[in-house]
Amino acid sequence: MKYEKYKDLYTQYLISEKNLSRNTINNYLVDLDQFFFYEDIRVSNLNLKIKLYITDLRKKNLKTSSINRKISTLKNFLKFLQSEKIIKQINFQEFESISNLKKIPKAISKFQIEQIFENLYNSKQTNKELYILVLKLIYLSGLRISEALNLKWSDINHHDNSIYVYGKGSKERKVFIINDFLEHLKNLNKKNQFVFTLKNKKISVRSVNKFLENCYNDSIIKDKLSSHVFRHSFATTMLENNADIRHIQKLLGHSSISTTEIYTKVAKSIKKRVLDSYHPLKNKL
């Protein structure tokens, strides 16, 4: 089978039919390249090549999620070729994924978050106010860091305190933000189409996480944090306040409710920590 011959055809399918982002498609193509140009597998039988490739993947010291992604990418590509009647008789039983225990995301309580924001203002780093605004937006709305940094002035609706978000796969959703936060944004430079900019350029994900890393190294905050923690904490705070999990799913932009359900475990662990720390009978039982 001539892989290169069908690579562009599959790319167009992912763009037009699946509406995937260019970044996601590029990741898929990297995985496919690894299979079709894998030099250790010099066999003409495609089913045998698949079996050997997957066996070899499972022997490597890769994360389970990475192995499953590669297996799923290859499976979907071959299913596409089969639907186009380009290939047939593929043994899809070989594509069984490895059991993947979902990692529970790190999250912190509302009290801790408030303390962290208070401490971040003690940083002596330049542009700290801008980075803190980004992190506050993530915590108050549940946006991904990339979604927050891609926010444009035209996405903000001051009439109902909402913002339009363009998430994974170019999916659009509407989230709401408190008016006090939007008032802070009015003080920012509006010369660029993007809200969060430095020197007229959109700030990067790396620079936000670097700000947090420097705050940790300077002992401004006690724990190593990434920007993702603020999104996770939004979800758990909503659950602690008895918000419907379906509403949280929509706000976070999750395509599957099972992804959102992970946060119920986090919320329970936070409640247990609070109970263990502040129960009136602590150390008396």
Annotated catalytic residue 263: yes
Residue of 79, 173, 228, 250 marked active site? 228
Antiparallel, parallel or unpaired: β 197-198 and 172-176: unpaired
Q: What CATH number does the domain located at 3-95 have?
A: 1.10.150.130
Q: Which stretches of the chain drop beneath a pLDDT of 70? A: 1, 38-44, 97-107, 169-170, 262-285
Nearest-angstrom CA–CA distance, 98 and 55:
11
Residue 211 contacts residue 169 (beta carbons within 8 Å): no
Asked about 231 being catalytic, the answer comes back as yes
Residue 166 has a CB neighbour count (10 Å cut-off) of: 17
pLDDT (0 to 100) of residue 51: 83
**For 192-231, how does the pLDDT look when each residue is reduced to its tens digit (9 = 90+)?**
999 999 988 999 999 999 999 999 999 999 988 989 889 8
Establish whether 216 is a catalytic residue.
no
CA distances in angstroms from 91 to 32, 42, 50, 76, listed in the order given:
17, 19, 9, 13
110-278: CATH topology is hpI Integrase; Chain A (1.10.443)
Q: What pLDDT is recorded for position 280? A: 45
Tell me if residue 158 is catalytic. Answer: no
Per-residue pLDDT reduced to its tens digit, 157-178: 989 999 998 877 667 888 989 9
Looking at 79, 110, 152, 168, which residue is catalytic? 168
Task: Report d(CA 227, CA 224) in Å as an integer.
Answer: 10
Q: What is the domain partition of the chain in residue ranges?
A: 3-95, 110-278
CA–CA separation, 156 and 186 (whole Å): 11
Selected catalytic residue, list 70, 75, 144, 232: 144
Question: Torsions phi, psi of 257, nearest 5?
Answer: -65, -25
pLDDT at residue number 109: 77
Picking from 238, 143, 235, 237, the residue whose alpha carbon sits closest to that of residue 195 is 143
User: pLDDT by residue (tens digit) across 129-145?
Assistant: 999 999 999 999 989 99
Q: What is the dihedral of CA 138, 140, 142, 148, to 10 degrees?
A: -30
pLDDT, position 246: 82
Residue 155: DSSP 8-state: G
Quote the CA–CA distance of 183 and 33 in Å, as a whole number.
48
Strand (E) or helix (H) holding 124: none
- Looking at residue 282, its pLDDT comes to 46
The reply to whether 228 belongs to the active site is yes
